Structure 1
Amino acid sequence: MLKSADAGLAANKQLVFDMWRSIVNAGRVELADEMLQEGYIQHSPVLPTGRAAFKRIFSAVPRSTIPDLVSPPLVAMVAEGDRVVMALRDTLTDPTGEQYTSTHFNMFRIEDGRLAEHWHSLADSPGADVLPPEQGGPQPVTGIVGTGQADLLASEDPELAVRKRLAYVALRDLFVAGGEGQARDYLTKGYGEHDPNGFTGREQFGQGSLQDVIGAPLVAVVAEGNLVVLVTGRVEQHPFDAMRTYTTTRFDMFRIESGRIAEHWSGSVRPGQAPFAVGSAK
């Protein structure tokens, strides 16, 4: 998953992979000085921005031997341009006590060989002690609304451009508008759904309560090989201040096969359950 035909993309993947296993998993915060930009921008709704703040947070992780692999288990890494998306498999327990899996996503922007910006799929609301953006708190998630979104579908590789367009149109027409009647046009017969609120199989499409992203700004579209990740932003009401809002990020990853969508992953959780714990979503 770390390999790429482009040496620069492979290096960016390796940076993300090494940061996660050494700092997030093993608490080696001293390595942040060489892996993160000093002005590291944080878009998580619950974490402060800046490299110094990052080091303070992860200093709570017990120091241990750096593992060979990341935890939770790696599902995919997708790199394009200066972005890397890392998808991890999380095992969760719903309100009834049943275990199920979902996907935890992180997207990083790389600048001059260091991590410069971070978004992830944690949708938890900020606590009363989380600072506002202007005081070093989480920075707002921003993106493109309207016809300008087409600019994010461009690629020097014509095959990637086609796959981006397919994923974008499917997200718009099927997952947002609920056009399940068009499923045969977009999905393979054996379509696999990894959203815990969806159903596997093209004939079952539209019966699940997939989350709505109508009107959401498009933050990024990252494609590599047969995988395309669409990243959108949301605005939510702040739980402790009626005059404020906060932003979160949604990820939808698609695997393309023979011109149709064969699989879909998102960071959704089952209804009635709190999102991923902060400790597993850094």
Structure 2
Amino acid sequence: MTDRAEANKAVVLKVMELLIDPEVSEQARQYLTPEYIQHNPEIESGADGIIAFTKTEEARVARENMRPAPEPPVLVAEGDKVVMMISRDLPDPENPGQTYRAYWFDMWRVEDGRLAEHWDAVTKTPGTGH
């Protein structure tokens, strides 16, 4: 693994650590490019958009679903892209009282040591205006 790939993975982990806590999410701004592009249709592009999202009810629910993570995140870096897989145990709708293991994937483009672009599998939610 190259030093650049390791540095890119480290900046992704740092930003995720900051964005998971709305009390410190403003600190993530220094790790985002001014032109940060967000492909998640529920979140505005730019640092303001992702930081504002951390303070929403949607983000609170997402945090609850992500904690505690049953396994450490898996990161794969190639060129300027980093993919992260996060596992989470969710309530099983077919078996009340039980959970099942699910996985979430995110990808970022890193530019000069800062996150420049983000993709995930989120689709538009009816009734949210997005």
Query: Under TM normalisation by the shorter chain, which class is it?
Result: 0.7 to 0.9
Partner of 1:79: 77
Q: Deviations for 1:2-33, whole angstroms, at most 9, x for unmatched residues?
A: xxx30011000000011111222464122122
Structure 2 letter corresponding to 1:127: P
2:53 paired with 1:57: yes
Q: CA RMSD in A?
A: 2.3
Helix, strand or coil at the partner of 1:107: strand
1:24-173 equivalences in 2 (<5 Å): 24-25=20-21, 27-60=23-56, 72=69, 73-96=71-94, 97=96, 98-122=98-122, 124-131=123-130
Question: Contact conserved, 2:34 with 2:47, CA < 8 A, in 1?
Answer: yes
Q: 1:71 Cα deviation (Å)?
A: 5.7
Using the alignment, how far apart are the partners of 1:127 and 1:36 within structure 2? 29
Helix, strand or coil at the partner of 1:104: strand
Which residues of structure 1 form unaligned runs of 5+?
A: 63-69, 132-282
Using the alignment, how far apart are the partners of 1:34 and 1:28 within structure 2? 12
| Alpha-carbon distance change, 49 to 130 in structure 1, aligned in 2, over 3 angstroms | farther
Which residues of structure 2 form unaligned runs of 5+?
A: 61-66
Using the alignment, how far apart are the partners of 1:39 and 1:83 within structure 2? 16
| Alpha-carbon distance change, 59 to 26 in structure 1, aligned in 2, over 3 angstroms | closer
Partner of 1:230: none
| Alpha-carbon distance change, 102 to 129 in structure 1, aligned in 2, over 3 angstroms | closer
Number of residues of Structure 1 aligned to a counterpart in Structure 2:
119
Q: Deviations for 1:214-256, whole angstroms, at most 9, x for unmatched residues?
A: xxxxxxxxxxxxxxxxxxxxxxxxxxxxxxxxxxxxxxxxxxx
Structure 2 letter corresponding to 1:130: G
Question: Contact conserved, 1:108 with 1:117, CA < 8 A, in 2?
Answer: yes
Question: Contact conserved, 1:23 with 1:32, CA < 8 A, in 2?
Answer: yes
Percent identity (aligned): 31
Partner of 1:16: 12
Q: Normalization by structure 1: what TM-score?
A: 0.38
Question: Contact conserved, 2:81 with 2:108, CA < 8 A, in 1?
Answer: yes
Question: Contact conserved, 2:8 with 2:82, CA < 8 A, in 1?
Answer: yes
Query: Which has the bigger relative contact order, CA under 8 A and spacing at least 6?
Result: 2
Question: Contact conserved, 1:92 with 1:100, CA < 8 A, in 2?
Answer: yes
Structure 2 letter corresponding to 1:32: A
Structure 2 letter corresponding to 1:23: L
